[in-house]
Structure 1
Amino acid sequence: MTDMSGGERDDDRLAPVIPLFGASTAPRSRHGVGVDADADPTAGGDIVPRRTGEAGLWRSTWDERDAEPPADPGARHPAHGAHGRTKGTSEQPATAPRLRALRPAHAADAEDVAEMPDPDELRSAAEESLVRKLRGRAMSVSEARTALRAAGLDGSQVDDVIDDFERRKYLDDRTLAGHLVTSGVERKGQGRVALSRALAQRGIPREIIDEALSELPDDDAERALEYARTKARSMARLDPDAALRRLIGQLSRRGYGGSVAMNAAKTALREAAGGSSRGVRFVESD
């Protein structure tokens, strides 16, 4: 290249080209081909030839590949797993899930069999529990069955115990029904309806209930009147209509309904008011 004075000018005296991407440019040869001063000509295909000519001055960073090996992704990178995340750090290693050894099937079955109670011991304990209950309160067969099932006996064992107790007269629904009827009539003043309901609640069969009630004399009216007399004295100060309604309600709750309760209430209130010779009488004291 010649200058204006006709002399030849050396290309090395040109102003240096400042690279745009921060890397120093290789010195240009006279043929315009950029040569990397650090490049090893024997490196093979690791170096990509740069552009030639003036375009080489504005080469992109894409023109060469980084010859350095890829950086380590780091100790906490997922590729290293749990061991890599804890290795070389002061953190405690992650707790691995505990493995539990599985028991052989025959071993598990043997333990289950060992935990099962002995049938004879279970029955003996259930019988003793039932005897203690019977000492405190008479029970029907239905109530005894419920108690035995709650103690863990199966159906056949329950039937065997019930048969044994009935044979020994520990359980007797007919005797129990007779006691309940007598107690209901004498102590509670109950009529047939209330007695039937009370026996059914104890699980006594229907035929035994009817048999027990059939032994009662057909005197519901008299029993209702006797009960009404015990309550009418405390209602003497009430309004007659209010006293009648209250007394009929009490008779109905004890199994006396309809005309039996109405007649008994009226008779008892009339006697309490002094309308009958059987009412309350006042006598002068000495």
Structure 2
Amino acid sequence: MAGALPARAVRRDVGRTDRRGRPLRVVGLHPGPRLIHPLQPCPIVPGTTAHGSLPRAGGEAPRPPPAAPPPPAGPAPPPTASAESSGEAEADPREVARAIVLRQLSASAKSRRQLEDKLADRNVPEDVAREVLDRFEEVNLVDDRAYAGMFVRSRAETRRLSRSALRRELAQRGITGEIADEALEQRSDDDELRDAHVLVRKKLPAAVDPSDRKERDRLTRRLVSMLGRKGYPPGLAFAVVKEELGALESSAEEFASEESAGDEFAGDEFSTGGFPGDGFSGDEYAAGRSTVGGRDRPDPDGAHVWDTP
């Protein structure tokens, strides 16, 4: 066979190793084999394998290298959008509605109308929402009567709203009729009048000039508008503002008259007789001299000195 090594050369090299014990490879067709350094690349010789080794006896082909192990199994891929939508569709709508109502009530107290609006925003069926809210009313977790009474007390203390304003806010929350009337009975006419006076006093300036008619009218309009936004009727608002402005002006006039009276008293004492028992008059005190023992005694440094015997 062309390209085959001589038998003599093959027999002679079988079992020969290098210094490290590695078998030597035969290259070439000459009678004497040529030694190849183990670190040098060895060309493929016809009749040998790709690794440079001789074929096995009987013509058996070398076994192939082992296959690579399969990659490790990773986490399962996330569900697709269709799978998520199908999962939501399979959820019990009653459980969804119950979770929404509990979350809303844990934040703050709410009326039944407010909870119905929340459920409608989350696309809960109307019959399911009615069934869940009925169950919550049976266990007193949803009570419009108790909620209305609490709401009126809270708004009256914090914002001092009138009964008409409170009625409008209750209607916005779905509470009307007998339940609203019962809750508003907590407020009386005297309560509204007292709250109106408190609101006006908070907005009044420190002082008002009674002679400035334009400023008084501007202040009156502003205070009446403030009471109107809180639901007080115009007649009550004008009466309260007029009373508070009159009280403020009268107190300012009294203060001014007391100051003027004090100035007049001080001027009279120093202009005529001075202080009783001081031995000199107000004119002599102003001129910088005093009389002691019937003699005028000018003050050399110009200071007002009270001589004592």
* Length-normalised TM-score, structure 2: 0.48
Describe the SS at the equivalent of 1:226: helix
Q: What's 2:16 paired with?
A: none
The correspondence for 1:242, drawn from 202, 215, 218, is 218
How big is the shift at 1:264? 1.0
Q: What's 2:306 paired with?
A: none
Q: Which has the higher contact order (CA 8 A, sep 6+)?
A: 1
- Name the CA shift for 1:257/1:270 in 2 (closer, same or farther; >3 Å): same
Q: What's 2:116 paired with?
A: 145
CA deviation digits over 1:8-46, x for unaligned, max 9? xxxxxxxxxxxxxxxxxxxxxxxxxxxxxxxxxxxxxxx
Q: What's 2:106 paired with?
A: 135
How big is the shift at 1:156? 2.1
Aligned length: 166
Identity percentage of aligned residues: 32
- Name the CA shift for 1:234/1:171 in 2 (closer, same or farther; >3 Å): farther
Please tell me the root mean square deviation across aligned C-alpha atoms, in Å.
2.9
Q: What's 1:66 paired with?
A: none
CA deviation digits over 1:144-168, x for unaligned, max 9? 1111223332222111111111122
Unaligned residue ranges in structure 2 (runs of 5+): 1-82, 256-309
Contact 1:224-1:261 within 8 A present in 2 as well: yes
How big is the shift at 1:274? 4.6
Contact 1:140-1:203 within 8 A present in 2 as well: yes
Displacement over 6 Å in runs of 4+:
none
Contact 1:130-1:144 within 8 A present in 2 as well: yes
How big is the shift at 1:169? 2.0
Structure 2 CA distance for aligned equivalents of residues 210 and 134 of structure 1: 24
How big is the shift at 1:193? 1.3
Question: 1:172 is matched by which residue type in structure 2?
Answer: D
Question: 1:173 is matched by which residue type in structure 2?
Answer: D
Contact 1:191-1:255 within 8 A present in 2 as well: yes
- Name the CA shift for 1:163/1:253 in 2 (closer, same or farther; >3 Å): same
The correspondence for 1:233, drawn from 205, 219, 227, is 205
* Length-normalised TM-score, structure 1: 0.52
Question: 1:265 is matched by which residue type in structure 2?
Answer: V
| Larger displacement relative to structure 2 (197-206 or 184-193) | 197-206
- Name the CA shift for 1:184/1:233 in 2 (closer, same or farther; >3 Å): farther
Describe the SS at the equivalent of 1:171: coil
Q: What's 1:272 paired with?
A: 248
Question: 1:138 is matched by which residue type in structure 2?
Answer: A
Task: Work out whether 1:212 is the aligned partner of 2:177.
Answer: no
The correspondence for 1:221, drawn from 193, 208, 220, is 193
Describe the SS at the equivalent of 2:159: coil
Task: Work out whether 1:254 is the aligned partner of 2:230.
Answer: yes
Structure 1 CA distance for aligned equivalents of residues 109 and 207 of structure 2: 37
CA deviation digits over 1:121-156, x for unaligned, max 9? x22122112211212122110111111223332222
Structure 1 CA distance for aligned equivalents of residues 250 and 153 of structure 2: 32
Unaligned residue ranges in structure 1 (runs of 5+): 1-110, 280-286
Structure 2 CA distance for aligned equivalents of residues 267 and 275 of structure 1: 12
Structure 1 CA distance for aligned equivalents of residues 126 and 91 of structure 2: 13
How big is the shift at 1:115? 6.8
